[in-house]
Structures are given as structure tokens and as C-alpha cells.
């Protein structure tokens, strides 16, 4: 029997899914920028290829260095760095697509939110793996909520609603994984559902009824119940007030986010064109490099945010389905690795990182098929973007790290 | 080592539930893909191959602008705009054909093809909408394009409301004009709902009240087939109808505005501002020379723009609010007021040095404008005859600190606060200002002599001078000048938020003294403003002559009737000489039009709708 400290083998299905998706990505970045009418330069796939080499190296390092170094003080350091960069972005960031998301010099730009996501996962994994943690105590939820809440608000301020929600997804997934009862999770999420429901009275009544029923049957003590009710009442009253005090353009931005059809010559138009592209791919696609919707250059971000539309158009249901299944494989392996790890910290780390992938993949793919609003989130591994590719590989590397050391306590 | 089941409580079924939930969500995505691509694939294939969906914007008509009596100053007329869709299938398949079409259009529209090409490239990048190439195209051209439709793929003619200013050049500076939104304006997040090529208020009322006037544009979805013709509207998407902009009613009286503009000699450069000293309502705001705002509505050529903005007399420059001049002797009533209020003088005070045409200060001799001299005068006559020697000595007695403090109390260096963009700030220099610009102690105390007669570094806009004249007229209120009376939304007039003024505590006796002195300027046969006399109306005024590098600027401020003032005004004529001969007569004509309108020509011939 191998010693506890000897790393095992990498998770092969995860490696396979990752590398295959990255190669598919390069092929379709090539396709999306190949036609003469393309708005961008044609050599982007070469850049992406170079970045892939860098990313593979980065991923290997992330896998090799034992993940225990992220426990304790280094987690705080990483988290502090992430926050500082997020704050910097608000002041000196590059404006792109109406929000300040980018930081960097010259050609080297990256989104500090990428670092902040990983740092938040690491710090949360530290908190939630504490031996004496009792998640049935309301008090124990305060720290995790603050740790995820601060980057959430900073990114929301940019404003980048799509990315900011990642932090909430991370928080809820990791709390669930750490053992928070599903009832508590529902109560924790209830103010957010409240915000969404408060715009439509019937929806809000249904929400209020469900919440009341759950609280009634929860057998919680009086204080927590009153707290949940109070928070929800405040949120329910404040939301419409805030909405009425927003500038018209801010309101428009939010309603466009929720309902792209409200802005038919911007986001809504892209959705329509993306749906036509994917749908017209039919069962087997129009053939690699032969997408005609793509050629119309309707989608200015077709090599980044809308790359899945190009895949769908050129390879049809067959190709789009395979890519979707590859993503499922990636996430499924992530869950398995998190489950297998004997180390509570490692397990939480793996599930948090997997949650980042899950959120990005679902939001992006659902956007291209018209099921989710336009958020500007890239499709991990497939979309063009060097630092995005590198971060994805670093995250996968970390998950592999945990896979290789699953025996360790 | 055995597996530790305690590492995560209930981990086993959590893992299973989570995996199942993820699998279900991915299955739903696959189902969606299957529905779109396999079940409805042929419908989408058809859409992608034969048709494409296009959005057309329905531009909202801008709100109308009327004068206080309901006379139209700006409205809209229907017009044709020629557009080109660079994403037409023809150009996507063979990009080279776009150049041919642009060249053809250049001939048809008589526009340089290079300009059209730039516009297509720039605007086409920002939206998927057809690019608006030329506005206000005549019917012959429209007919020609319709006949040659098949040779001009992607070219279309759209209806668009065109901004029209029925009175042409009249009131151009206060109304402003509209033009295509600039790249810089598009970057502003507040302008997120503007598309490249949209019209936006660029100057004057059009810019200041852009949000109110613009309205909300509508849109419709159109399916365009391979022939470029509009096919059936998509059943599921109804057009969004535009909401027209709200109408504005101004405080301007078009008759008085016309009188003010016509009071200037042809070719003169200058400005006149007439306001109600009780409310701050601006009755006329003229700046000469004018321009024709109609020229901008259709898109102005580069050469014409250069001529207007930089050529000779700068007709685009609104001298009433954007230009600041030394006020010359029009400042004297305020210096006198400073003397009274600080206790430096009494109404009957005379100074030691009598005026013999010059005043000796140290080794320098300061001249009075009248070389014959005025003798020894008290306040009333010193103002009426504009004696410089009196004010030199008053200036010395006050000192720079006290004088500049008083002017600060009157907010002389602040903007008057009119509801127009780009109003320039005034300037009354103080000790700190001189220390900063000349170095501490490196400027002469003698500067105060010049300041006391309104010369030197002082710079005031005509709107500011009118506001200051109103302050004397109403006895101490700095009313905020404003141009908009009402906003008419959904047919229901909404009075605009009242513009409250600032109060300066002036003892009524001192205000009366200064008013009487200013009345003497006009009524006294020796007064310098005798040329502003109006029959049967008591007028109070003050002339001014500002020394500049070239010929002197002529100024005049006044208000009337003295017993209960209803108008206050400032007139400025650049490089025209003396205020008494070049500016006072203009004020006289304007007051004549206000108090005896029968004699003046009426513009109400153009019936209001």
C-alpha cells in the first residue's frame, strides 16, 4: 500500500475533458475569426495556442504543489490580494462593455474577479473545514457570508452582475457541501428570491406563502424566524424604493439583463441571432468553417462569449451535445473528487472550484440558447482569452491536486 | 487507513443529490438543444438562409419649443433619410460590392464617397441597424432610389422627423441646434440609449433640455428576405411605439427678441439680455451675429462648420453667456453702493481732489474720460456724468480688500446660473488673485483705481450684468435668470421648478440713492445715457466703455420703469466705441418695443398653431 504522502495518479477523465475542450476551443476560435468579414484579427487562434502551452504548464504546477499550502495564513493573503485588486479595478480599471472589469498594463489585461473567485473558495474552505464548526448555529454563518459578500458587492459595483453572482453560487454550494441543512440554505437564499419576486405581485405572494409555510414547519426557535421575516420584510419594502430611485439608464441596464428582448437592438438582438445560428445547425451542422450566420458577423463576441453558437451552427446537435457532455463529465469528476477526498479542506476546495465551472458553463450555454440573460461571462476553456484559459487550467490543476492526494487526511 | 465518514456529515447522500441535480440541469440543456436543432432546426435554417431579422428604429419626434405667447420656435417636419445596411447578405457574401454601392450613392446623394465609407464603417460597427447616410433627401432622389432598388442592395429610405426652426436665424443662440451624437457623447453611460447617428441637442435649450425634448424612440422587428424587401412582421413581436418628447414653453417674448436682434446694426457683434427683475424670466437673449440652426438638423458639411465655428465673427459663439468683458463704467453704480454700504461715503460726500480731467496718484496720472473735467461732484452727479476722478478716489478710500469683498457678496465672480450650457464664470480679482497671477507684493496698489471704474482684469458676461442690473432694480435679490416657463408633458403643462434667487441685504435708502443716480444718467440732459430715453417711462441706466486692445466695447445696463421695474437689461456691442452712442440707443429701441409695442413691428404674422 502506498504511503499516505505519495501522490497518486491524476484523474484521467477530468484531464481528457479539459484538454479536449481546450483544443475544441482553439479550433472554433479559428473558425469564428476566419471569415473575411470578421471584425477581429485572424491570427487569434495562434495566440490562444501559445496561451494553451502556458496554461498547461500552470496547471501542472497547480497540481504538483501540495494543496495544504493554501491552508491557514496564505489563504488570507490570497484573499486580501484579490480584494485589493478588485478595489483597484474600481478606480483605475479599463472600461469594457460599460463596466470596469479589467486591470493591467499594455496587452496584459486580466479580470481581478478571476483571482478573487479562487481566493474566496480557498478562504471559505478554510473556515468551513474548522473542526468545531457547527453550521446549525446562526453565528457560524456570519463569517462565510461576509467573505463571499465583500467581493460580491465589489464586482456588483463595477457593474458586472453576472460575475458577482458567482460568489453567491460558490457560497451556497460550499455551505451545502459543508453540511448546512437544506432548510437553512433556503432561508439564506430567501432574501434574493424576494428581490426577484418583488417586481411581480403574484410571484411575491407565492414566495411569501412558501416562506411562511417553510418557517411554520421548520421547528426553529422564535428568534431566527423573526430574523428571517424581518430581513425579508425590509428587502421587500426597500427593493421597489431603490428601483424607483435609479437613473433611467440604470433601470434599463437591469431590465435588459433580465429581459434581453427589452433591448432588441443590443443584447436581445444577439440572443435572436445566436438562437438562429444554433438552431440552423440542425442535427449534424453546416460543417466546420461553413457557418453562415457566423459569417454575417452578427455576433461581435462570437469568438468569446458566443463561441458556443458557432459550435452549434457548424457541428449541429451532434457537436453541441458532445461539448455539453464533456462539460458535464468535467463537473461530474469534480464532484467525485470532492467526495472522495478524505481531507475536509480538500473536499471543500474541490467542490468550490467545481461550482465556479458549473456556474460559468450553465450561464453561458443557457445564454446562447436563450434561456439566460446576456451577462458577458465567457465559456471556460472554449472562449478566446489567454488569462481566462490560464485561470481555468489553474483551477483544474488544483482539482487534480486534490484528486492525486485523496488519501491524505 | 479506513475512510473517515465523519469528514463531512451526510456527505454520501449530498454527493448523490448534487450529482443528480447537475445531471438533470445538463439534461435540460441537451433537451433545449435537441428542440432547437433537431425539432425546429428547419425553421431556424430557413431564417438563417433566406431571411434575416432586422430591427428598425422609429424615431420619436422631438418636443416643440414655443415662446411665452405660444409662438412656435422649433417643431418637426417629416423628411426622408437614406440608409444603407452594411450587413445585407450581398455585402456579407462579397464585401467588395459595398464599395460599388457607396460610390453609386455618392453620385446620387452628391456626397463625397469617402465620407460615406467612413460613416458606414464607424456606425456599422456599433449597431446592427442600417446606417443613416443622408437626411432630408428630396423627393426626386427618393424616387430615383426606389426605381433602382435592385441595383442598390441594402439601400432604403426611412421616414424621420426633421427638426425645423420656423423663424430661421432668430433666437438661434438660445435655442441651439441638434446634430448627430458624437463618439465622445456615446461613451457617457447616461447616453447608453443613444445609437451612433442619432440626433442630440448640441447647444442652447436643445442641449440643456435634451432629456425632456428627446422622447423615447420606438422599434419594430422586420423580417427581410433575400431580395431585401420587408417580409411579414414577426407575429410574436409587436412594434414598440415611440413616445414624443415633451414640449417646452419659454419665457422668451418673440416680439422682444426680434426687436433686440434688429436693434443691432447689420454686421455688429454683441449681445443683449432682457429679463424680468422680479422673477428672473429672460424675455430676450440676443447674440450677434446669428446662425441658422436649420443648417445643422440635416447634417452640416465640414467646410460650413469650420466657417461658422472659426470663421471671422464666430457666429456660433453665444456672446450673451460665453463671453466676458470688462464692464467699464457700468460697474460704477455697484462701486457707489459698496461705498455707501461700507460707510466709506454718504450720498452727499465729495472728495478733496476736484476733477480737472485727470487725477494724480503717486507719480502716475489717471485720466478722466472727459478731458474738460467735471469739477467737484457728489454721488448722484458722479454716476450720472460718469466722473472717473470721483471713482478713483472712492476706490482708494475703499481699498482693494473692501471692494473685492463687497463684489464677492454680490456673487460677481459666480455664474448667473441661466439654464443654458456653457455659461462662463465672471471675474472680480481680489488680493489672492493678484498674488497668484503677479506674485505676492509684485503688483501695484494703484490697480484699485482701475477696478473702481470697471477696467482692468474684471470680466463679466452680459447675462451677469443683466442679473446685477436686476439686483439694483428689485432692491437686493439676485434672481436666477431662466428660459423655460413650462414643460408640457402628455398635454398637461407642468410648471418648472421655481428658480429662487439669493438675497443681498441692501438698506432701502442706499438702493434708492443708486436708483436715483442711475435715473439721472438717462433723464439728466448732461447724463451719459440720454440716448436711452423712452417716452413716458422712467428709465434708470448706466453707460460703459470698456478699453480693449482694439476699439472700445460699448456697454449699457438699465431697468424700467424706475418706480416698479418690470425689465432689466444689459447691452454690449464689441469694438463699437462709447456706451452712450453705441449701446444706449440699442437699449432704447428694445425698451421702446417693450413699452410701446404698437410702434414696433410684430412677428405674430406667423400665426401660432
- Mean pLDDT confidence for B537-552: 92
| % of chain A surpassing 90 pLDDT | 43
pLDDT of B94 > 80? The answer is no
In terms of CA atoms, which chain A residue is nearest residue B211? A248
Q: Nearest CB to B48: which of A293, A336, A347?
A: A293
**In this model, does residue B603 exceed pLDDT 50?**
no
pLDDT digits (tens, 9 = 90+) for A97-128: 445 566 665 556 678 888 999 999 999 999 99
Q: A339: which 3 cell numbers?
A: 467526495
Which residue is it, cell 458556443? A308
Taking an 8 Å cut-off on Cβ atoms, the answer to whether A280 and B45 are in contact is yes
- Chain segment A20-36, per-residue pLDDT in tens: 999 999 999 988 877 65
- Give me the helices (H) in B479-531, please: 508-523
pLDDT of residue B300: 75
Q: State residue A354's pLDDT score.
A: 97
DSSP string, A137-158: SGGGGHHHHHHHHHHHHHHHTT
CA distance A379 to A349: 21
Residue B234: what pLDDT? 44
Residue A95 has pLDDT above 80, yes or no: no
Q: How high is the pLDDT of residue B344?
A: 93
Query: Which pLDDT does position B112 carry in this prediction?
Result: 84
Is the pLDDT confidence value at A168 over 90?
yes
Of A146-155, B145-154, B192-201, give the range with the top mean pLDDT.
A146-155
> B480-508 pLDDT, tens per residue?
999 999 888 766 777 665 667 788 889 99
Q: What is the pLDDT of residue B606?
A: 42
Measured CA to CA, the distance from residue B163 to residue B62 in angstroms comes to 8
Q: Distance between CA A381 and CA A396 in Å, rounded?
A: 11
> What is the DSSP pairing of strand B247-250 with strand B65-66?
parallel
Report pTM.
0.65
Which pLDDT tens digit goes with each residue over B430-476?
A: 999 999 998 888 888 888 999 999 999 999 999 999 999 999 999 98
Is residue B225 scored above 70 in pLDDT? no
Rounded to a whole number, what is the distance in Å from the CA of B15 to chain A's nearest CA?
Answer: 6
Strand pairing report for B553-560 and B247-250: unpaired
Record: contact B44-A176, CB cut-off 8 A? no
Give residue B125's pLDDT: 64
pLDDT tens-digit profile of B27-50?
Answer: 999 999 999 999 998 888 877 765
pLDDT score of B418 more than 80: yes
Region of poorest pLDDT, from B187-191, B517-521, B554-558, B573-577: B187-191
Q: What is the pLDDT of residue B412?
A: 93
pLDDT reported for residue B441: 81
Q: How far apart are the C-alpha atoms of A174 and A162, rounded to whole Å?
A: 19
Confidence of residue B233 (pLDDT cuts 50, 70, 90): very low
Residue A95: partners with Cβ closer than 8 Å, 6 or more residues away: none
Q: Please state, in angstroms and as integers, the Cα–Cα distance from residue B546 to each residue in B455, B457, B497, B590, following that order.
A: 7, 11, 37, 22
Query: Are A371 and B7 within 8 A, CB to CB?
Result: no
Residue B570: what pLDDT?
97
Q: Which is nearest to B242 in space by CA: B432, B507, B63, B455?
A: B63
Mean pLDDT across chain A = 84
- pLDDT category at B53 given cuts 50, 70, 90 is low
pLDDT confidence of residue B285 = 97
Query: Closest chain A residue to B44 measured between Cα atoms?
Result: A280
Q: Looking at residue A371, what is its pLDDT? A: 84
From the list B14, B38, B189, the residue facing A176 with the nearest CB is: B14
What is residue A41's predicted lDDT score, i.e. its pLDDT? 62
Can you list the alpha helix ranges (DSSP code H) found in B210-331?
210-214, 254-262, 294-297, 302-310, 319-322
Confidence of residue B310 (pLDDT cuts 50, 70, 90): confident
Highest mean pLDDT among A86-100, A163-177, A199-213: A163-177
Q: Establish whether B42 is a catalytic residue.
A: no
Selected residue of B34, B36, B85, B186 to mutate for chain A interface (largest A Cβ count, 10 A): B36
Most confident region among A332-346, A373-387, B125-139, B492-506 by mean pLDDT? A332-346
B361 - beta bridge partners?
B364
How many other C-beta atoms lie within 10 A of the C-beta of residue A203?
A: 13
Strand partners, B250: B484
Lowest mean pLDDT among A125-129, A302-306, B231-235: B231-235
Question: For residue B7, is pLDDT > 50?
Answer: no
Distance from the Cα of A230 to chain B's closest Cα (Å) equals 30
Whether A279 and B55 lie within 8 Å, measured CB to CB: no
State the pLDDT confidence band at B538, using cuts at 50, 70 and 90.
Answer: very high
Question: Who among B22, B40, B47 is closest to A335 (CB)?
Answer: B22
| Lowest mean pLDDT across A254-263, A272-281, B141-150 | A254-263
The ipTM estimated for the assembled molecules is 0.92
Active-site position among B172, B329, B413, B580: B329
Task: Give the pLDDT score at B605.
Answer: 43
C-alpha cell at position B136? 432630408
Residue B181 CB contacts under 8 Å (≥ 6 apart), including other chains: B191, B194, B195, B196, B197, B198, B199, B200
- Mean pLDDT (whole number) for B160-165: 92
Amino acid at each position: 500500500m502506498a504511503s499516505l504522502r505519495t501522490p497518486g495518479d491524476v484523474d484521467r477523465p477530468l484531464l481528457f475533458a479539459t484538454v479536449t475542450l481546450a483544443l475544441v476551443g482553439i479550433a472554433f476560435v479559428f473558425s469564428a475569426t476566419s471569415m473575411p468579414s470578421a471584425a477581429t484579427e485572424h491570427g487569434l487562434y495562434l495566440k490562444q495556442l501559445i496561451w494553451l502551452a502556458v496554461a498547461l504548464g500552470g496547471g501542472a504546477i497547480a497540481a504538483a504543489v501540495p494543496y495544504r499550502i493554501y491552508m491557514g495564513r496564505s489563504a488570507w493573503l490570497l484573499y486580501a490580494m484579490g480584494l485589493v485588486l478588485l478595489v483597484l479595478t474600481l478606480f483605475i480599471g479599463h472600461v469594457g462593455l460599460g463596466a470596469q472589469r479589467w486591470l493591467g498594463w499594455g496587452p496584459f489585461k486580466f479580470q481581478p474577479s478571476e483571482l478573487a473567485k479562487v481566493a474566496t473558495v480557498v478562504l471559505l474552505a478554510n473556515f468551513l473545514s474548522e473542526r468545531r464548526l457547527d453550521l446549525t448555529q446562526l453565528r457560524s454563518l456570519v463569517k462565510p457570508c461576509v467573505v463571499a459578500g465583500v467581493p460580491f458587492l465589489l464586482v456588483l459595483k463595477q457593474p458586472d452582475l453576472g460575475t458577482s453572482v458567482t460568489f453567491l453560487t460558490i457560497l451556497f454550494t460550499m455551505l451545502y457541501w459543508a453540511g448546512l441543512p437544506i432548510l437553512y440554505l433556503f432561508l439564506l437564499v430567501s432574501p434574493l428570491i424576494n428581490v426577484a419576486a418583488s417586481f411581480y405581485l403574484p410571484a411575491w405572494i407565492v414566495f411569501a406563502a412558501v416562506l411562511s409555510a417553510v418557517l411554520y414547519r421548520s421547528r426553529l426557535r422564535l428568534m431566527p424566524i423573526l430574523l428571517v421575516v424581518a430581513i425579508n420584510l425590509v428587502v421587500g419594502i426597500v427593493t421597489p424604493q431603490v428601483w424607483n430611485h435609479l437613473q433611467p439608464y440604470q433601470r434599463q441596464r437591469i431590465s435588459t439583463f433580465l429581459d434581453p428582448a427589452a433591448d432588441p437592438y443590443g443584447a436581445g438582438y444577439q440572443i435572436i441571432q445566436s438562437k438562429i445560428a444554433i438552431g440552423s445547425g440542425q442535427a449534424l451542422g453546416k460543417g466546420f468553417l461553413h457557418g453562415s450566420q457566423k459569417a454575417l458577423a452578427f455576433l461581435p463576441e462570437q469568438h468569446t462569449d458566443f463561441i458556443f453558437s458557432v459550435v452549434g451552427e457548424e457541428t449541429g446537435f451532434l457537436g453541441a451535445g458532445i461539448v455539453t457532455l464533456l462539460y458535464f463529465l468535467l463537473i461530474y469528476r469534480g464532484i467525485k473528487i470532492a467526495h472522495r477526498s478524505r481531507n475536509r479542506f480538500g473536499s471543500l476546495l474541490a467542490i468550490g472550484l467545481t461550482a465556479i465551472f458549473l456556474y460559468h458553463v450553465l450561464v453561458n450555454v443557457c445564454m446562447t440558447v436563450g434561456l439566460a440573460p446576456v451577462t458577458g461571462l465567457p465559456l471556460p476553456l472554449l472562449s478566446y482569452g489567454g488569462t481566462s484559459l490560464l485561470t481555468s487550467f489553474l483551477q483544474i490543476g488544483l482539482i487534480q491536486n486534490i484528486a492525486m492526494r485523496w488519501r491524505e487526511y | 487507513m479506513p475512510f473517515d465518514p465523519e469528514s463531512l456529515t451526510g456527505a454520501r447522500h449530498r454527493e448523490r443529490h448534487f450529482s443528480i441535480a447537475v445531471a438533470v440541469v445538463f439534461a435540460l440543456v441537451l433537451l433545449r438543444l435537441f428542440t432547437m436543432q433537431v425539432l425546429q432546426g428547419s425553421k431556424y435554417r430557413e431564417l438563417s438562409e433566406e431571411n434575416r431579422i432586422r430591427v428598425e428604429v422609429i424615431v420619436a419626434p422631438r418636443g416643440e419649443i414655443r415662446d411665452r405667447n405660444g409662438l412656435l420656435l422649433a417643431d418637426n417636419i417629416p423628411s426622408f433619410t437614406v440608409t444603407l445596411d452594411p450587413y445585407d447578405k450581398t455585402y456579407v457574401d462579397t464585401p467588395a460590392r459595398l464599395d460599388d454601392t457607396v460610390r453609386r450613392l455618392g453620385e446620387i446623394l452628391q456626397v463625397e464617397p469617402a465620407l460615406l465609407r467612413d460613416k458606414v464603417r464607424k456606425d456599422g460597427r456599433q449597431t446592427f441597424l442600417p446606417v443613416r447616410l443622408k437626411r432630408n433627401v428630396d423627393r426626386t432622389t427618393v424616387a430615383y432610389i426606389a426605381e433602382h432598388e435592385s441595383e442598390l442592395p441594402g439601400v432604403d429610405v426611412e421616414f424621420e422627423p426633421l427638426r425645423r426652426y420656423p423663424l430661421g436665424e432668430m433666437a438661434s443662440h438660445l435655442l441651439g441646434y441638434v446634430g448627430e451624437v458624437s463618439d465622445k457623447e456615446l461613451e457617457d453611460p447616461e447616453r447608453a440609449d443613444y445609437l451612433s447617428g442619432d440626433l442630440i441637442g448640441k447647444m442652447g435649450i436643445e442641449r440643456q433640455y435634451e432629456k425632456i425634448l428627446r422622447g423615447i424612440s420606438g422599434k419594430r422587428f422586420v423580417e427581410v428576405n433575400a431580395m431585401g424587401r420587408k417580409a411579414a412582421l414577426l407575429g410574436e413581436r409587436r412594434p414598440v411605439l415611440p413616445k414624443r418628447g415633451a414640449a417646452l414653453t419659454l419665457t422668451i417674448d418673440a416680439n422682444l427678441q426680434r426687436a433686440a436682434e434688429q436693434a443691432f446694426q447689420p454686421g455688429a457683434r454683441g449681445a443683449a439680455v432682457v429679463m424680468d427683475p422680479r422673477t428672473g424670466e429672460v424675455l430676450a437673449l440676443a447674440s450677434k451675429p446669428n446662425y441658422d440652426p436649420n443648417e445643422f438638423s440635416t447634417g452640416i458639411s465640414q467646410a460650413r462648420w469650420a466657417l461658422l465655428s472659426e470663421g471671422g465673427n464666430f457666429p456660433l459663439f453665444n456672446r450673451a453667456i460665453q463671453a466676458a468683458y470688462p464692464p467699464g463704467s457700468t460697474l460704477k453704480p455697484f462701486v457707489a453702493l459698496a461705498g455707501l454700504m461700507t460707510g466709506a461715503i454718504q450720498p452727499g460726500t465729495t472728495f478733496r481732489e476736484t476733477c480737472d480731467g485727470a487725477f494724480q496718484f503717486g507719480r502716475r496720472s489717471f485720466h478722466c474720460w472727459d478731458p474738460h473735467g467735471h469739477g467737484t461732484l457728489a454721488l448722484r452727479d458722479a454716476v450720472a456724468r460718469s466722473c472717473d476722478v470721483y471713482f478713483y478716489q472712492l476706490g482708494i478710500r475703499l481699498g482693494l480688500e473692501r471692494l473685492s469683498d463687497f463684489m464677492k457678496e454680490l456673487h460677481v465672480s459666480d455664474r448667473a446660473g441661466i439654464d443654458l450650457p456653457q455659461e462662463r464664470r465672471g471675474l472680480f480679482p481680489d488680493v489672492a488673485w493678484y498674488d497668484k497671477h503677479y506674485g505676492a507684493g509684485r503688483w501695484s496698489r494703484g490697480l484699485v483705481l482701475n477696478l473702481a471704474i470697471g477696467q482692468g482684469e474684471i470680466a463679466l458676461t452680459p447675462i451677469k450684468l443683466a442679473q446685477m442690473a436686476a439686483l439694483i432694480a428689485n432692491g437686493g435679490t439676485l434672481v436666477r435668470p431662466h428660459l423655460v416657463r413650462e414643460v408640457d408633458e402628455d398635454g398637461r403643462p407642468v410648471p418648472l421648478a421655481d428658480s429662487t434667487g439669493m438675497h443681498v441685504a441692501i438698506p432701502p435708502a442706499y438702493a434708492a440713492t443708486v436708483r436715483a443716480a442711475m435715473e439721472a444718467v438717462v433723464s439728466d440732459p448732461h447724463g451719459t445715457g440720454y440716448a436711452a430715453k423712452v417716452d413716458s417711462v422712467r428709465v434708470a441706466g448706466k453707460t460703459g466703455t470698456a478699453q480693449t486692445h482694439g476699439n472700445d466695447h460699448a456697454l449699457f445696463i438699465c431697468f424700467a420703469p424706475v418706480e416698479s421695474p418690470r425689465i432689466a437689461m444689459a447691452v454690449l456691442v464689441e469694438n463699437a466705441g462709447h456706451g452712450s452712442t453705441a449701446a444706449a440707443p440699442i437699449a432704447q429701441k428694445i425698451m421702446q418695443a417693450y413699452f410701446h409695442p404698437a410702434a414696433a413691428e410684430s412677428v405674430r404674422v406667423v400665426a401660432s398653431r
